[in-house]
Amino acid sequence: MEEIETLRLPAPAKLNLLLRVVGRREDGYHLLQTVFQFIDRCDWITLGRRTDGEIHLKTPLPGVPPEADLTVRAARALAAATGTRAGVDIGIEKNLPMGGGLGGGSSDAATVLVGLNRLWHTGLGVEALMELGLKLGADVPVFVNGRSAWAEGVGEQLTPLDLPEPWYVVVVPDCHVATRTVFSSPNLTRDNKPIIIADFIAGRQENHCLPVVMELYPEIGAAMDDLSRYSEPRLTGTGACVFAAFADERQARQAAVDLGSTRSVFVAKGENLSPLQRALGFDPGSRQS
């Protein structure tokens, strides 16, 4: 069988369709209830095999030292866990705004874990990859698993959900939100009562970070006001991006054209199977990686 030398794979964005803060762990991390859905807007990751054991980032991102980049950290984590002597050249085509609440960094890391596990023949199962990913960021496991999900804990306790797959208009406000800033605000309500999945299915879609985010970043409230002229606006994660769902692609595209005269905006389709797993030909329901 011919050896694969290079893989080029998508790293999709996620939206948080709900984000609730229901407590705090001893280490200060917040306990969440959230719903993740993927969208077909993606970064693209290229992985080229090296035989010298080096892990090299060919396309460093502005403001992110290569050793801090989540793709490099993911590759190092997989190498350390498996003891492989293989190396890799990593390329990132960045389409997702950084600090946008779309999970781009976490998704890049997940794509490296899943892609390199294949390129390097390291043979870890999906659970082991999710566990490695969790050490890199709370959002990495859902991108490794690749199914829309209800999540609890810090986002690692996943229950796959079969959701409607609407069109989304996503507005990218002109500001970056540091997740840490939002979670360290004294004004964040941290003791909300937990709900159950059926409550979400019945229509709950609040984001408990929204009041703090609107107070710290007025630009995000302004973007929500603009989007609310077309459909009900929501915040993804701790922001900055806001989004609204449309049943119809034409309406979504028309809203994006209107908003696009003054704002950075894109249209994307909700997807319950991640574009990464689709690209790798994973059978939904199969646990093979």
Ligand X SMILES: C[C@@](CO)(OP(=O)(O)O)[C@H](O)COP(=O)(O)OP(=O)(O)OC[C@H]1O[C@@H](n2ccc(N)nc2=O)[C@H](O)[C@@H]1O
Residue identified by tokens 């970064």 is 43
Task: Find the binder of ligand ADP among 108, 152, 226, 271 (CB under 6 A).
Answer: 108
Among 33, 106, 111, 231, binds ligand ADP (CB under 6 A): 106
CA distances from 29 to 49, 185, 211 (A): 36, 13, 19
CB atoms within 10 A of CB 167: 22
Q: Which does 183 bind (CB under 5 to 8 A by kind): ligand ADP, ligand X, none?
A: ligand X
By CB under 6 A, residue 69 contacts ligand ADP: yes
Distances (CA, A) of 118 to 4, 49, 126, 207: 9, 11, 12, 36
Residue 105 known to bind ligand: yes
Number of residues that bind ligand ADP (CB under 6 A): 19
Q: What is the Rg, in whole angstroms, of the alpha carbon atoms belonging to the chain?
A: 19
Interface residue with ligand ADP among 105, 115, 146, 233 (CB under 6 A) is 105
Task: Confirm or reject binding of residue 103 to ligand ADP (CB under 6 A).
Answer: yes
Rounded to a whole number of angstroms, the minimum distance from the CB of residue 137 to ligand X is 4
Nearer to ligand ADP, 64 or 273 (CB): 64
70 binds, among ligand X, ligand ADP, none (CB under 5 to 8 A by kind): ligand ADP
Residue 240: DSSP 8-state: S
**Identified catalytic residue from 43, 69, 139, 226:** 139
Residue 289 binding target from ligand ADP, ligand X, none, CB below 5 to 8 Å by type: none
Tell me how far apart the alpha carbons of residues 243 and 175 are, in angstroms, rounded to a whole number.
15
Stretch that binds ligand X, among 76-84, 98-106, 221-229, 248-256 (CB under 6 A): 98-106
**Euclidean distance between CA atoms 256 and 248, whole angstroms:** 13
Closest Cα partner for 211 from 239, 191, 232, 231? 239
Q: How far apart are CA 238 and CA 272, in angstroms?
A: 22
CA 113 to chain centre: 14
Q: Tell me whether the omega of the peptide bond preceding residue 240 falls within 30 degrees of 0, making it cis.
A: yes
Contact 277, 126 (CB under 8 A): no
Q: 239 a known binding residue?
A: no
What residues from 224 to 263 belong to the interface with ligand ADP (CB under 6 A)? 237
Does the annotation count 139 as an active-site position?
yes
CA–CA gap between residue 136 and residue 278 (Å, rounded)? 23
Question: How many chain residues bind ligand X (CB under 6 A)?
Answer: 19
Q: Give the CB-nearest residue to ligand X.
A: 237
**Residue 71 binds which of ligand ADP, ligand X, none (CB < 5-8 A, kind-dependent):** ligand ADP
**Nearest distance from C-beta of residue 99 to ligand ADP, angstroms:** 4
103 is in an annotated binding site: yes
Instruction: Tell me which residues are annotated as active site.
Output: 14, 139
By CB under 6 A, name the binding residues for ligand ADP: 61, 64, 68-71, 92, 98-106, 108, 179, 237
